[in-house]
Amino acid sequence: MLPARERVLIILGALLNLCFLQRVGSTQSGLFKRVYDPMHPGNSNTKPGPKATVKNVHCGNEFASYASKDSKTVSCMDYGAKKYNCDLSQCHGGAQTDTPKSSPINLQLYFENCQALGVAGTEKSTFLVYAYSYLARNKDGHLVANGFAVGDSTESVHQFKCPWKDRTDRNNMRVWCDKCSELV
């Protein structure tokens, strides 16, 4: 029998996978619908409305976790739990001073030594994962990434648990977005 914490992670993984599969089967280019997060039951299942424009948002807790009205924007939650919709073309990896041109997100949003969640036979394997989205559990030292494992010829999207120990570890790097609207 799995410990309760692992069961919760598997359930979260299944919910996020379902959400991603709905996106893939859709003709819309929006990213992900917001799903109930059993690890944080206080989270709302609704999409807040826009507020003010903000620059240099560090998506420390979440990135691309629900679909926005416009396919050119993504969701973001900073370390202070403030929620934003951000212009995807203005998001990047690296440091705050980088730009989408100097540190493009499609080359920088990857995590190392990740374990696949809910995929039989992979319990002892670790993967390099290129992610589409993530939900970080910073106090627990890991994040759950939606993405595909390098070397998987099918490039199937799975959920991965990606741990880190130090602040400077690759898996503790987060997306920066330079043009966002704060949500109420």
Rounded mean pLDDT of 42-70?
Answer: 76
Q: Is 138's pLDDT higher than 70? A: yes
Top pLDDT among 25 and 80 is at: 80
Model pLDDT, residue 51: 61
* 35 band by pLDDT with thresholds 50, 70 and 90: very low
Instruction: Find the Cα–Cα–Cα–Cα dihedral 175, 163, 146, 101, rounded to 10°.
Output: 30
Top pLDDT among 111 and 42 is at: 111
Radius of gyration of the chain (CA): 16
Answer whether 171's CB lies under 8 Å from 164's CB.
Answer: yes
Model pLDDT, residue 70: 80
Top pLDDT among 22 and 112 is at: 112
Rounded mean pLDDT of 133-155?
Answer: 92
Q: What angle do CA 106, 110, 115 make, to 5 degrees?
A: 145
Rounded mean pLDDT of 95-100?
Answer: 94
pLDDT digits (tens, 9 = 90+) for 118-131: 877 677 788 999 99
Model pLDDT, residue 124: 76
Answer whether 84's CB lies under 8 Å from 76's CB.
Answer: yes
Phi, psi of 24 (to 5 degrees): -65, -35
Model pLDDT, residue 47: 54
What are 150's two structure tokens?
């390098």
Q: Is 102's pLDDT higher than 60? A: yes
Rounded mean pLDDT of 56-76?
Answer: 90
Rounded mean pLDDT of 58-68?
Answer: 91
- Percent of the chain exceeding pLDDT 90 equals 56
Model pLDDT, residue 14: 52
Domain boundaries, the chain: 4-103+173-183, 107-170
Top pLDDT among 29 and 128 is at: 128
Q: Is 27's pLDDT higher than 60? A: no
